Structure 1
Amino acid sequence: MTSNVDKSQLSEEENVTRNDEQPLTSRAELWSYYLYYNGNNGYTIYSYMPVILQYLAYRGGFNPETNGPCDIQDALKPCNVHWLSSSVPVSSMLLYVQAIAFSIQLLLFTTFGSLADYGRWNRYILFTATVISCLFQALPIVLINDDGSHWPLMMAVMIIGLIAYGTTLVFYAAVFPILSDNLPAVREKGEDPEKWRNHVSTISTTWSNVGFVIVSGILAGVSFVQYNGGDLGDAPMYNFIGTVFCAGFLALNAIPYFITMPKGRKGPPLPPNSHYLTLGWTSIFEALK
């Protein structure tokens, strides 16, 4: 994300993040920053969405031993889905989806990651990624009655959701040095900026875990609601409900941050002779020398 620079460059960047052009970090802005991570806890990305993809793939797949439909009641029996010109087990397909998403993120963040740290682009990209993340976390609900024939659509939804979620994490994490450096305790009282950077980072991470616990508790309670003679948690629709709830929880917690963020909030300028699109790759090459 941030390239390795010498001490003089680092000092210049810290001066930029703590000068009169930067608004002081208000209590509302700081706590809305924490609240954002409370909602953006990644619960559905690594729980409900993979389960939904697996469920739809089992419904739309076939047993390679019999060429008949897969047994969705027994995950131990083989189940394949068509993949390019051949077929692969559903479990392998799930791994491919993760690999595709993370490969795309590697290219995107190495090329565009400097936009998170430098200049004014952070707020716009974080907002866009948050909207996309909310949307694609909720989208699986349209497949709630699907017969499994549209499992590739769910695969695409999950890949985009993973990329959007990863983007929010990168651009969110890039903000905390700017917020901590412009706290009144640092700007006006001259306290150690590193101390407050660690403080803001630790508290924000704690709030992410708090959000995870809140979502877990609420949805665990919902799972015991009676539905069709059994627990709702045992019904496939429970996972679809979970994705919509998590999307709404993210939106509810993210909105205050974009409201309280002052217009003058920005990162330091690019280092001399650098470009947004090449800074990440240059940093990698320098690290490998």
Structure 2
Amino acid sequence: MSTGILPVVENVDEKHDDSHLESAEIKADDVILGDDLTSKVPHSAGLAVIEQRRAIPLAGKRQVATKWEYWTFVLFFLNSNASPIGGPGGNIRQATLTLSHPDGFMNWAGARQPVNTVLLDISGILTAVTVVVMFVLGPYADYGNWRPWIMIGAEVITWGCEFGMMSIKDVSQWQTANVLWALGGIALTIVGAFYQATYPSMVRDLPKMIQSEEDVLHGLKSPEEHEKLDAYERAKIFNWCNIWGSFGSVVVFGIGIAVSKAVGFADTSALLHAYRVLMAYYTPIAILVTVPYFICMKWRPAQQVPSGYSMWTVGPRQVIYAGKSIVQLKQCLLYLCAYVFLFEAIGAFLSIYFILQLETIHYNPVISTAFNLVGDLCGGAGCAVILYLHRRYDWKVKWIMFVSAIFSLFPCLWGALGSFTHKIGFHNVWEFWFMQVWNLVTSACSSYNVTMISEVAPATKLFMFYSLFNTISKSTGFAGPFITAAIIKQSHGNNNYAFWFLVGLGIIAIVLLYFVDTDKAKIDCAVCECGRAGYRISLRV
């Protein structure tokens, strides 16, 4: 008997047709490691990682990842941290709206509303539009070879909005500022979602990962060793992204502080001028860090369009597939629920937090930029530490995510306590400095939540599932700003009461996250993908 582990694949139906999802006779027990039938499912996560990528035919050959592609991907991440549409662009949007209504109220939706309520309502509307766009684009991206064009096109739109922001010279242009901010925000969200969905396949196409797969299939290493390497390499690149994004931002924001001081911001006109200058400074940087990846990235093949279907009809079928398979992928569904509650809490927290921050520092661009600098410095340091600990102690991705989620909930509780006192609760400038330093222990959440999606989602459906996660979390984000805005309105403008709602969401997320089993998720994905392709798998010695 051979000592190698070789895949024996039986074709149940030669056609690649998603209808096999319900009818294929594949079960978790069909995945077998060697002759030890007692070790069927619980110990086969490593083989499941390999097999789910091989089950569905691709529209081209596997593309080996290069060092240039890897490191330009990391370079690209600075666009997420230093994107001017979300930095000075967001400040221009809020400053023009707030300063054009000095009494703090404005006519909105047929009533006299607090400006902060309107800001949150606009965020909710933006989220609703983003949901629709992601729902349309996401399902198509797992087929053919065209998906890089989505990210490139969205990035170009972002650049256009950033250049457009430079034309805002007076607070009376608040409508234009909000439209540009919203359009740029939608485009940036698309770029972020597709950027995240790109990296798992790139990592798994690294030469070391391809060799590891071959070693497993020839019995030279255990599936568990491959699974640990796969999880670590996926976590490593996004930690490198966060480390580079943070320390790169320190340099970028440090220069931004000098620019702000040199320009000055003594009055409203000077303030807007300072932000326009910052937009002119940050936008070329965004272009410089994104273009190299667009040049170096490999256009990896997605799935073949199933026989009998056109490219235009596979999108809706992807949505149907997601609805059917999510029941089979119970661990993915569980993490999806945890993800929704956690990032609804974090996202809504940040919306309120940044409103309070800008009001507390009176829109001072120097202090605002300094906050970003300190937060990114601490975030990068935190990611470097957690990457070392992950490698040193071989921690599972799930538990790193769980602990960082608990730390991420603390700022919501801090804000909620401000309902009863002005000593804490984001009423003082020092608290905003403290929260930048707190990024040391929350930064892992921003990198490991991305890795967690690739832990529980099928390898051949990552673009759809990353879009699904973003879409569903954004759909709750559509309700969240309206709920927090309503709470603020009912409390007569007391922003801190809204934090209690976010604390409750965060607690639900942490409880759900505790019960996610990533090993079982990988088995579920392999079973689902092979069943969909019409195959029975038996990995025998």
State the TM-score, normalized to the length of structure 1: 0.76
Instruction: Tell me by how many angstroms 1:152 deviates.
Output: 1.0
Q: Who is 2:229 aligned against?
A: 195
Instruction: Tell me by how many angstroms 1:285 deviates.
Output: 6.5
Describe the superposition over 1:156-188 as per-residue Cα deviations: whole angstroms up to 9, x where unpaired: 111111111110111111111221222111224
Indicate how the Cα distance of structure 1 residues 125 and 222 shifts in structure 2: closer, same or farther if over 3 A, else same.
Answer: closer
Contact residue 140 and residue 315 of structure 2 kept, 8 A = yes
Q: Which amino acid aligns with 2:293?
A: Y
Q: Who is 1:214 aligned against?
A: 248
Distance 1:33 1:110 in 2: 25
Task: Map 1:169-180 onto structure 2 (within 5 A).
Answer: 169-180=192-203
Larger displacement relative to structure 2 (23-32 or 35-44): 35-44
Describe the superposition over 1:10-40 as per-residue Cα deviations: whole angstroms up to 9, x where unpaired: 8354466999812211111111111111233
Q: Who is 1:165 aligned against?
A: 188
Distance 1:177 1:194 in 2: 14
Matched, 1:142 2:178: no
Indicate how the Cα distance of structure 1 residues 227 and 152 shifts in structure 2: closer, same or farther if over 3 A, else same.
Answer: closer
Q: Which amino acid aligns with 2:203?
A: S
Distance 2:304 2:188 in 1: 26
Task: Map 1:1-289 onto structure 2 (within 5 A).
Answer: 11=51, 13-14=53-54, 21-41=61-81, 43-61=83-101, 70=102, 78-143=103-168, 145-146=169-170, 148-189=171-212, 190=214, 192=226, 195-196=229-230, 198-224=232-258, 225-227=261-263, 235-263=271-299, 265-269=300-304, 275-280=314-319, 282-284=321-323, 287=326
Q: Who is 1:65 aligned against?
A: none
Distance 1:159 1:86 in 2: 23
Instruction: Tell me by how many angstroms 1:153 deviates.
Output: 1.0
Contact residue 117 and residue 174 of structure 1 kept, 8 A = no
Distance 1:258 1:194 in 2: 30
Structure 1 unaligned residues grouped into runs of 5+: 62-69, 71-77
Structure 2 unaligned residues grouped into runs of 5+: 1-20, 32-47, 216-225, 329-541
Contact residue 77 and residue 242 of structure 2 kept, 8 A = yes
Q: Which amino acid aligns with 2:202?
A: L
Give 3-state SS (helix, strand or coil) of 1:113's partner: helix
Larger displacement relative to structure 2 (246-255 or 124-133): 246-255
Q: Who is 1:74 aligned against?
A: none
Contact residue 74 and residue 237 of structure 2 kept, 8 A = yes
How many residues end up aligned between the 2 structures? 266
Instruction: Tell me by how many angstroms 1:281 deviates.
Output: 5.6
Contact residue 119 and residue 267 of structure 1 kept, 8 A = yes
Instruction: Tell me by how many angstroms 1:59 deviates.
Output: 3.6
Contact residue 25 and residue 183 of structure 1 kept, 8 A = yes
**Root mean square deviation of aligned Cα:** 3.6
Structure with more helix by fraction = 2
Distance 1:87 1:284 in 2: 42
Indicate how the Cα distance of structure 1 residues 34 and 51 shifts in structure 2: closer, same or farther if over 3 A, else same.
Answer: same
Describe the superposition over 1:97-124 as per-residue Cα deviations: whole angstroms up to 9, x where unpaired: 2111222222222332123333323211
Distance 1:152 1:217 in 2: 32
Distance 1:130 1:226 in 2: 30
Distance 1:252 1:111 in 2: 29
Indicate how the Cα distance of structure 1 residues 163 and 85 shifts in structure 2: closer, same or farther if over 3 A, else same.
Answer: same
- Rg (Cα) greater in structure: 2
Contact residue 162 and residue 184 of structure 2 kept, 8 A = yes
Instruction: Tell me by how many angstroms 1:287 deviates.
Output: 3.9
Distance 2:139 2:228 in 1: 21
Contact residue 29 and residue 260 of structure 1 kept, 8 A = yes
Describe the superposition over 1:241-278 as per-residue Cα deviations: whole angstroms up to 9, x where unpaired: 33333322221111111111234x22234678882134
Contact residue 13 and residue 269 of structure 1 kept, 8 A = no
Larger displacement relative to structure 2 (13-22 or 216-225): 13-22
Contact residue 181 and residue 197 of structure 1 kept, 8 A = no
Give 3-state SS (helix, strand or coil) of 2:77's partner: helix
Q: Which amino acid aligns with 1:38?
A: L
Distance 2:210 2:327 in 1: 37
Give 3-state SS (helix, strand or coil) of 2:203's partner: helix
Distance 1:114 1:197 in 2: 25
Indicate how the Cα distance of structure 1 residues 208 and 16 shifts in structure 2: closer, same or farther if over 3 A, else same.
Answer: farther
Distance 2:108 2:243 in 1: 37
